[in-house]
């Protein structure tokens, strides 16, 4: 059986276009607004959704997503509620791939075996665990594969040719290429450098490569969409929530930006 992620990337490849991968933090700014936003992302143009699992020490994230995690946790978001959001989403949408992104600690506290069982039952398609590199695959990898969940790996500008095979080993779903060193939402990547990196990665894997970190505008998304199989936008969306004068306005502002990003990505290769 083809996974939702594999199916979606196959569809997009046939259409000769890149995926728009959108990140939001579960429970930001509150459960109801966050669930409303999640349900509306596909219609606005999101091809794949990354749903952040809020954690109190998100060391790979910049100030924007750190603040989102704080807002979500202060509003009472838990791992149980995050999985319930996925269940609610799946009642209306059985086709859009959804990846949980975050850190190992909340999964460890939940209990890895129970978490994998519940995540699969809820309708999660994959996991991107920032602080579990390939060398620690044994922590979650076997459980994820047994549950039929993709384990998505990350490569960075410092991932050299010697380490790349280890990163790709038993990776599935897609490869998340971090376009610049540092934390999310800070800086801007150089297109030529990213293009070269994607080319080197594609010589070693058939996995789709999605580029994230430092992608903020439709223009930037369109440029990366020329070479990558997916473009990930997170901090720029989360900022819309932070800057809005109400949760409802934040949802509208995120959806508006997603629509603009989607249009740019769709037109990139035309």
Beta strand pairing call for 230-233 and 209-212: parallel
Per-residue confidence band for 186, with pLDDT thresholds at 50, 70 and 90: very low
Share of the chain above pLDDT 90, in %: 85
Measured between alpha carbons, how far is 150 from 39 in angstroms, rounded to an integer?
Answer: 22
- pTM, to two decimals: 0.95
Q: pLDDT band for position 161 (50/70/90)?
A: confident
Q: Determine contact, residues 100/84, Cβ cutoff 8 Å.
A: no
Tokens (6 digits) for 246: 């109400």
Residue 190: band (very low, low, confident or very high) from pLDDT cuts 50, 70, 90:
low
Share of the chain above pLDDT 70, in %: 96
Rounded Cα–Cα distance for residues 230 and 175 (Å)? 10
Q: Which residue has the higher pLDDT, 183 or 13?
A: 13
Mean per-residue pLDDT, 79-85: 98
Average model confidence (pLDDT) across the chain: 93
Q: How much is the average pLDDT of 178-203?
A: 73
4-267 CATH, one of 3.30.450.20, 3.40.960.10, 3.20.20.70, 3.30.2270.10: 3.20.20.70
CA diameter of the chain: 49
Distance CA 26, CA 71 (A): 10
Outline where the chain has alpha helix (H): 4-14, 31-44, 63-74, 79-92, 104-110, 112-122, 137-147, 164-168, 191-202, 218-225, 235-243, 247-267
Closest alpha carbon to 68 in 248, 242, 256, 254: 242
pLDDT at 181: 55
- How far apart, in Å, are the Cα atoms of 48 and each of 124, 174, 190? 12, 11, 24
Segment 150-163 shows an average pLDDT of 91
Per-residue confidence (pLDDT) for residue 61, from 0 to 100: 81
DSSP one-letter code for 136: G
Query: What pLDDT score was predicted for residue 214?
Result: 82
Q: Is 2 helix (H, G, I), strand (E, B) or coil?
A: coil
Q: Are β-strands 153-155 and 209-212 bridged in parallel, bridged antiparallel, or unpaired?
A: unpaired
The residues carrying an active-site annotation are 50, 61
Whole-number Å distance between alpha carbons of 82 and 35 = 9
Q: Find all residues with CB under 8 Å of 136, minimum gap 6, and list them.
A: none
Q: Which of these, 157, 166, 230, lies nearest to 200 by C-alpha position?
A: 157
At residue 183, does pLDDT exceed 70?
A: no
Q: Parse the chain into domains and list their residue ranges.
A: 4-267
Peptide bond connecting 29 to the previous residue in cis, omega within 30 degrees of 0: yes
How far is the C-alpha of 36 from the C-alpha of 251, rounded, in Å?
Answer: 8
pLDDT at 269: 92
CA-to-CA distance for 153 and 1, rounded, in angstroms?
Answer: 22
- Whether the predicted pLDDT of 185 surpasses 60: no
């Amino acid at each position: 059986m083809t996974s939702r992620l594999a199916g979606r990337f196959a569809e997009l490849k046939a259409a000769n276009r890149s995926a728009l991968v959108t990140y939001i933090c579960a429970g930001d700014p509150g459960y109801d607004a966050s669930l409303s936003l999640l349900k509306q992302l596909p219609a606005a143009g999101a091809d794949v959704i990354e749903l952040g699992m809020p954690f109190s020490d998100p060391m790979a994230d910049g100030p924007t997503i750190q603040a989102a995690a704080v807002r979500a946790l202060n509003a009472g978001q838990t791992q149980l509620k995050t999985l319930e959001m996925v269940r609610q989403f799946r009642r209306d949408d059985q086709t859009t791939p959804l990846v949980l992104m975050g850190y190992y600690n909340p999964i460890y506290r939940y209990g890895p075996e129970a978490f994998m069982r519940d995540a699969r039952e809820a309708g999660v398609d994959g996991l991107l665990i920032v602080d579990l590199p390939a060398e620690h695959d044994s922590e979650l990898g076997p459980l994820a594969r047994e549950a039929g969940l993709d384990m998505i790996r990350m490569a960075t500008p410092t991932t050299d040719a010697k380490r790349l095979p280890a990163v790709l080993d038993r990776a599935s779903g897609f490869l998340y290429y971090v376009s610049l060193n540092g934390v999310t939402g800070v800086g801007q990547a150089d297109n030529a450098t990213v293009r070269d990196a994607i080319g080197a990665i594609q010589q070693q894997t058939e996995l789709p490569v999605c580029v994230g970190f430092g992608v903020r505008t439709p223009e930037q998304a369109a440029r990366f969409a020329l070479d990558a199989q997916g473009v990930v936008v997170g901090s720029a969306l989360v900022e819309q929530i932070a800057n809005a004068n109400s949760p409802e306005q934040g949802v509208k502002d995120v959806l508006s930006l997603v629509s603009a990003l989607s249009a740019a990505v769709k037109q990139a290769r035309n």
